[in-house]
Chain A
Amino acid sequence: AQSVAQPEDQVNVAEGNPLTVKCTYSVSGNPYLFWYVQYPNRGLQFLLKYITGDNLVKGSYGFEAEFNKSQTSFHLKKPSALVSDSALYFCAVSSFTGGGNKLTFGTGTQLKVEL
């Protein structure tokens, strides 16, 4: 079975400071890792994904994530946070199950960026 852990329910950061949202995963075989963001009363928006290749993945809105196979982690980062980044962030892992992809999500981390 595959699973994702997001150890922090909430992360607070001052605008302009770097941010990190943590994610660890468990999956058989090669992991395919995703980050999604959810704004209030909205659906999930895709931010970035890791499939293979360079461990540092760049995505939308200045976000990036680093894949670390030895630590089974895929932490989301941004060099300089904005108040508009405040939202709920989900990490997800995919596996080749039954001939197709199936996303398993973590419980989410609420990011709050303050002035």
Chain B
Amino acid sequence: EAGVVQSPRYKIIEKKQPVAFWCNPISGHNTLYWYRQNLGQGPELLIRYENEEAVDDSQLPKDRFSAERLKGVDSTLKIQPAELGDSAVYLCASSLVPAASGNTIYFGEGSWLTVV
């Protein structure tokens, strides 16, 4: 069974440019997460979806970040414009529904962003 798929794996952009990351969760997983991992730190949640609905986006910097999950499957995370401090790994993850506590969350390989 395929795991969580993310693209691109690596992206280098100049500051003020836009960038987008795509994620395809594990088949049947209705809960999707975007995490950001800064160098030397643990991942931090940006946004969580249940099907198409964003149920927790309190940590998403909404002035420059946006996300969507049309049709409740694939998701896209966008940054516009990018800043130097956005350099990080953007991790997509998914888990089964019902989203009861204790469900294992599975991560993709990550999209490594460098803003120069």
Contact = CB atoms under 8 A, between A and B. Distances in A.
B42 A94 contact: no
A100 B44 contact: no
B107 A101 contact: no
The bracket for how many chain A residues form the interface is 20 to 34
Contacts of A95: 101
Interface string B79-116: 00000000000010101000111111111111010000
Contacts, number: 76
Interface stretch (A12-20, A44-52, A67-75, A79-87): A44-52
Interface in A30-45: 30, 32, 34, 36, 41-45
A21 B105 CA distance: 21
Interface residues of B, number: 30
A43 B107 contact: yes
Given A90-B42, A107-B41, A108-B41, A100 B107 contact: no
B11 to A, nearest CB: 14
A94 B104 CA distance: 10
A100 B43 contact: no
Given A30-B101, A102-B45, A107-B40, 18 more contacts: A42-B109, A43-B91, A44-B93, A44-B107, A45-B107, A49-B102, A49-B104, A90-B42, A94-B101, A94-B102, A96-B100, A97-B56, A98-B55, A99-B99, A100-B31, A100-B48, A100-B100, A105-B43
13 contacts: A30-B101, A43-B6, A44-B43, A44-B107, A46-B105, A51-B102, A96-B101, A98-B55, A100-B56, A100-B100, A101-B99, A101-B105, A106-B42
